[in-house]
Structure 1
């Protein structure tokens, strides 16, 4: 897939003002400071589209980026950052979960995992929650350039093994490096294949309260 355009569309803290769900969307989420913004910028080959920060937990909004005028990348707030207030964290978690489970055009959630770490409980629990909700997801192991390929492979294998206790089949995964461009072609090919089979959702008026 060739990325011809990538445009920031909007940021939201509620579901109601989101763009009309008439194009496929791909959400990116992970623990705070996992390298999400850097990965998004690498995928679209546009430095600074998604704002990076050295301060974990900065992204607190649902950010929509329109790609090639045909599909969306959705940058979701990171999870697991302890230094925000409990009330704020609960609000973020609520609207993130509502987005993931209620957004009609969401095709896949890319869960970013720091390849330098052994399996983290919070990552495993989030993946299991996606499975319980029957939300399609794939894994992207980030920051592979920060260590040897052998160590990355070991950590990936451990994470897959941990998931096997919950899933009959481990979800697709890609090993990536934002700095080296590693994994870019694989992720874009994955998205391109899904886009080819996108079916316009039947949108019905929302009867649930606005979050």
Structure 2
């Protein structure tokens, strides 16, 4: 996709703050320090649109980004960061669950997990919720460049087993720009399907 315009819109918590124009929306969810901000910056060809922090837990609200006035990214708070207070973690979970349950324009959820490790308890918990809500999901296994090629299949199977997921898994590296085009292809296919559905309903 050719990125002509990227606009940060709002950091929101309450549903009444969410953008209401109905653009197809792609939600990014994952454990703190899984590489969400790096992936967003790579997808949008920006160096620092989404802030990459040395301190996990930096994203503490839902950040909405308008792309080309045709789609939207929603960057959800990272979960599972121990240095955030229990009260704040509970608030993060509440906002995420509320968003996933109520947000109608969600076109696909991109669930990021670190390819190097077995899915955490939080990874499994949120993925189970995504399955229950029947959102279209792509599991994005980040940090592909950190493991040897011979180990990729083993780690992908580890993720599939840990999440107990029927959803597709795409391994990527934001740092090395590996398989980012393939990820965009998934999003573009979703957009085409969305536009076709709108045409059929007219």
Normalising to structure 1: TM-score of the pair? 0.88
After superposition, what is the alpha-carbon deviation per residue over 1:87-126, rounded to whole angstroms, capped at 9, x for unaligned?
A: 1111111111111110010111101010111232321221
User: Contact between 1:41 and 1:50, CA under 8 Å: does it hold in 2?
Assistant: yes
Q: 1:195 maps to what in 2? A: 191
Higher helix share: 2
CA distance in 2, matches of 1:126, 1:11: 21
Q: Which one scores higher on RCO, CA 8 angstroms, separation ≥ 6?
A: 1
Q: 2:149 maps to what in 1? A: 149
Shift of 1:150: 2.1
Shift of 1:197: 2.2
Aligned residues: 196
CA distance in 2, matches of 1:126, 1:29: 9
Q: Does 1:104 align with 2:100?
A: no
The answer to which of 1-10 and 92-101 deviates more is 1-10
CA distance in 1, matches of 2:7, 2:126: 29
User: Contact between 2:115 and 2:159, CA under 8 Å: does it hold in 1?
Assistant: no
User: Contact between 1:32 and 1:56, CA under 8 Å: does it hold in 2?
Assistant: yes
- Structure 1 runs of 4+ aligned residues shifted over 3 Å read none
- What runs of 5+ residues in structure 2 fail to find an aligned partner? none
CA distance in 2, matches of 1:13, 1:125: 21
User: Contact between 2:118 and 2:162, CA under 8 Å: does it hold in 1?
Assistant: no
